[in-house]
């Protein structure tokens, strides 16, 4: 774990001797002053763009003993959920920010006592210092989130009380054999207990499975209650199509942490002068290659990423990036970020050094990244290091679209569907070929029209004669 919970001793010196806060008054956080060796546990910065985090679940409870390097809490950053470990040995004395609540980076989320005897002392001596202005304005550092709306389900069968309680809280993320959304500690605990998470329904935010759900499921199984998977299936009409997400029309829903990050990036992108260039590429040869090697685990995403990376190697300016508007960087690596839609937003897992990695390894890596993205387990370097972005809506039948340039990159390419198209040959004949439309959005401070035109010509040559892709 690259990021550990930062904590510090809480001083007991007079207020006049303490260093003044460097934060503006509008961002004053609560200061918890406790005697003896009590440490504050702060909300860590898990990525360079993270300004606040949400507590997904506390791995430890108040009073539990902690060892240095042991997981304490699961935090949702702007793009992923991450286990955060303790920097010190001690006891978790007081949880200040509960599960489901958010706190700004650097604010206190819990207190850590050095000995068990100091736990009660930490709770009894905890004081809150709030500026006078905060009495009029609600604190911005800790916000409660509205609980997800759960559709009522008619219990038509007789089940034990435990099974009914679990089954009635079904969330689409873990329904019908789909992917399981669970905290890392819950997955570890389930493995130790030999419990199948596909039969467990989470009580955490957005239906996420947390440790207490695994413990409850294990207890229910040992008590002879109906298996959770069976209980859930009994409440779901057989043969019915997947239900559409239930929303309460007319309500206002706050952004999730990920949606806030996406919103900030989109607004930041408006400050960049961009332009767009489109190109039509014939894909018959690429389609034939894909049919031959698909059985070996190769994905179309990997094929497109590899072709793009090889073209970028010949046009380094299209792989460059500009920050600040006074200089730009020719990136030393070609890292292809690919947009992936996940629950509550989108993320761009990165295929690093895509021009150097062979196609089969690239496909295996892509599948691994997608699984981690959908489980919200990507590490920051796996989604923040892209130098060029692909956005593909071709699988939905979209023939063309424009993409918004991610901040800090030089270009993004929107890929449409490959469709049979009537085309005329140079000798005047008419035939049918598979063609796709690609549109590149680029930073005009660095990349010019001729640069993109030349890059797209190279890309078309690679795709229309893809022999180099399998080397």
Asked about 381 being catalytic, the answer comes back as no
Give the active site residue among 3, 171, 381, 444.
Answer: 444
**CA quadruple 345, 6, 88, 140: dihedral, nearest 10:** -70
Q: Do the beta carbons of residue 432 and residue 420 sit within 8 Å?
A: yes
The angle at the Cα of 467, spanning 464 to 471, to the nearest 5 degrees, equals 140
Crossing angle of helices 184-193 and 211-222, in 10° steps, is 20
Q: How far apart are CA 173 and CA 126, in angstroms?
A: 39
- Cα four-point dihedral sign 260, 263, 267, 268: positive
Q: Dihedrals φ, ψ of 349, to 5°? A: -60, 150
CB atoms within 10 A of CB 292: 11
User: Of 107, 114, 10, 91, whose CA–CA distance to 55 is shortest?
Assistant: 107
Catalytic residues: 444
């Amino acid at each position: 774990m690259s990021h550990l919970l930062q904590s510090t001793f809480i001083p007991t010196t007079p207020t006049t001797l303490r260093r003044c806060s460097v934060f503006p008054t509008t961002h004053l956080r609560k200061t918890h002053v406790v005697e003896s060796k009590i440490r504050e546990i702060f909300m860590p910065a898990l990525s360079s763009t993270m300004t606040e985090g949400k507590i997904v679940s506390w791995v430890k409870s108040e009073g539990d003993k902690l060892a240095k390097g042991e997981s304490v809490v699961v935090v949702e950053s702007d793009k992923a959920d991450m286990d955060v470990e303790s920097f010190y040995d001690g006891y978790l004395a007081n949880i200040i920010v509960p599960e489901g609540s958010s706190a700004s980076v650097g604010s206190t989320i819990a207190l850590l006592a050095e000995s068990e005897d100091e736990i009660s002392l930490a709770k009894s001596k905890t004081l809150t210092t709030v500026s006078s202005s905060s009495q009029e304005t609600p604190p911005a550092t800790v916000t409660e989130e509205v609980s997800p709306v759960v559709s009522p389900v008619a219990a038509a069968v007789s089940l034990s009380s435990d099974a009914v309680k679990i089954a009635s809280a079904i969330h689409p993320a873990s329904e019908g054999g789909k992917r399981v959304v669970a905290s890392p500690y819950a997955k570890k605990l389930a493995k130790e207990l030999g419990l199948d998470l596909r039969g467990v329904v989470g009580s955490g935010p957005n239906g996420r499975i947390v440790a207490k759900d695994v413990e409850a499921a294990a207890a229910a199984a040992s008590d002879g209650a109906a298996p959770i998977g069976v209980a859930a299936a009994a409440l779901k009409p057989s043969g019915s199509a997947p239900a559409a997400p239930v929303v309460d029309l007319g309500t206002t829903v706050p952004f999730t942490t990920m949606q806030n990050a996406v919103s900030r990036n989109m607004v930041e992108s408006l400050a960049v002068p961009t332009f767009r260039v489109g190109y039509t590429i014939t894909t018959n040869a690429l389609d034939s290659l894909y049919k031959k090697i698909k059985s070996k685990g190769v994905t179309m995403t990997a094929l497109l990423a590899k072709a793009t990376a090889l073209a970028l190697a010949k046009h380094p300016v299209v792989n460059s990036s500009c920050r600040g508007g006074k200089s730009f960087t020719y990136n030393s690596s070609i890292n292809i970020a690919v947009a992936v839609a996940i629950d509550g937003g989108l993320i761009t897992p990165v295929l690093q050094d895509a021009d150097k990695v062979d196609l089969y390894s690239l496909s295996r890596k892509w599948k691994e990244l997608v699984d981690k993205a959908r489980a919200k387990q990507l590490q920051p370097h796996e989604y923040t290091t892209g130098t060029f972005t692909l956005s593909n809506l071709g699988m939905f039948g979209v023939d063309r679209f424009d993409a918004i340039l991610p901040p800090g990159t030089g270009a993004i390419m929107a890929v449409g569907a490959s469709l049979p198209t009537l085309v005329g040959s140079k000798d005047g004949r008419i035939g049918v070929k598979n063609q796709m439309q690609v549109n590149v959005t680029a930073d005009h401070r660095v990349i010019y029209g001729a640069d993109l035109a030349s890059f797209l010509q190279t890309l078309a040559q690679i795709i229309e004669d893809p022999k180099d892709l399998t080397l």
